[in-house]
Amino acid sequence: MRGTNRRDFMRSGAMLGAAVVSTGLASSEASARPKIAQPNGAGSKARTLGSGKNAIKVSYGLGLGCMGMSWNRSFVPDRNKMIVLIRKGYDMGVNLFDTAEAYGPFVNEETVGEAIAPFRKNVTLCSKFGFDIQNGKMTGGFNSQPKHIREVVNQSLGRLKTDHIDLLYQHRVDPNVPMEDVAGTVKDLIAEGKVRFFGLSEAGPESIRKAHAVHPVTALQTEFSLMSRDPLQDVFPVCEELGIGFVPYSPLSRAYLTGYINERTTYVAANDNRPTLPRYRLGSVIANWKIIDVLVKFGNQRGLTAAQVALAWLSAQKPWVVPIPGTTKLAHLQENLWSSDFEFTPDELASVTAEIKAIPIAGDRYPTPQTR
């Protein structure tokens, strides 16, 4: 397989990014930080999740997924470096940061909480509940019992060093707990000031409607990328009808759509879920490379990387789509943010979409269905 232009971008992007944000970076380690003016593009490209009193404005129309900074991506970066990265992201205009109790478990919330403490009031902090965790380990089950939701929120608030969570998601629908009970519990937490907005993750149309009837849902977070396009058919119509924002997780298909993963990539199975996913098996990695070819061909003519084309395509689907690509590298963060500068023409969007649709996707995204 041929390489993409991502590595070349990293070399030049790191220097360009440093020049763009040099003023902000000088104070990134300061103990107290004032609210800064957002760089050009951050505010002008802002998008809104949710509607009315339940709306959240997101700069660049992109958030920062923080999971991989401490969990589930093979290597574990230096924690202090990740704190610096999050703070530099803020200096660059990022104002939405996504974590969860399950990431680690727990350690990712601790890292994010420390990182955003100097500017906590100026950003949207997102976390999640819903998995069963015993003795610090994921059991593979779910737990959205109302009592447990309250316990999780109280514990998360401590780890996050804050008195409220801006956007609280149910991480997965629990088949053993009525959605009305889940939504009612979060509604009570909102009334108590511990949570501001309610979100769901991997919820199907029926679950979304049940939750929204109890308390307005601000955002649905579900896997969505050029390789995982099912949400367009099943949940997008419901989100549009009800005024719910959509947050794609794994918008770059766990780094595959960057061109960073190929048939030689190895994983640390103890800290990476990709070896368990059919789409990342050797045969699927090779078969799906045709998608990378489409992205590189289109991007090369417009000065874009494969990752930027993939992110811009997601944003082009609806104005209430806010991807949360994760990264552990400043150059990649800048690259992702710059994707918001590109807008497809109708003809370009139709052409790229048609080319992608013509490529059969090898491998399911998970071994078992996630959406309920």
Q: pLDDT value at position 39?
A: 60
Distance CA 276, CA 248 (A): 21
The structural domains of the chain, with segments of one domain joined by +, span 39-357
Distance, CA of 301 to CA of 56 (rounded, Å): 35
Rounded alpha-carbon distances, angstroms, from residue 6 to 171, 306, 336, 358, 359: 31, 7, 11, 25, 22
Bridge partners (DSSP) listed for residue 169: 128, 199
Q: Are strands 96-98 and 217-223 parallel, antiparallel or unpaired?
A: unpaired
Q: Is 103 a catalytic site residue?
A: yes
Q: How many helices (H) and strands (E) does the chain have?
A: 13, 11
- The CATH architecture that domain 39-357 belongs to is Alpha-Beta Barrel (3.20)
Long-range pairs for 131-139 at CB < 8 Å and ≥24 separation? 131/101, 131/102, 131/171, 131/172, 133/101, 133/102, 133/105, 136/105, 136/106, 137/105, 138/102, 138/105
Per-residue pLDDT, 38: 53
Do 123 and 87 form a contact (C-beta atoms < 8 A)? no
CB 67 within 8 A of CB 249: no
pLDDT of residue 93: 98
Chunked into runs of 10 residues, the chain (372 residues) has average pLDDT values of: 44 42 39 47 88 98 98 95 98 98 98 98 98 95 98 98 98 98 98 98 98 98 97 97 98 97 94 94 96 98 98 98 98 98 98 98 85 74
pLDDT at 372: 79
Looking only at the bridges linking them, the beta strands covering 64-65 and 56-58 are unpaired
In whole angstroms, give the CA distance from residue 156 to residue 102.
10
**From the candidates 60, 90, 103, 169, which is the catalytic residue?**
103
Model pLDDT, residue 6: 46
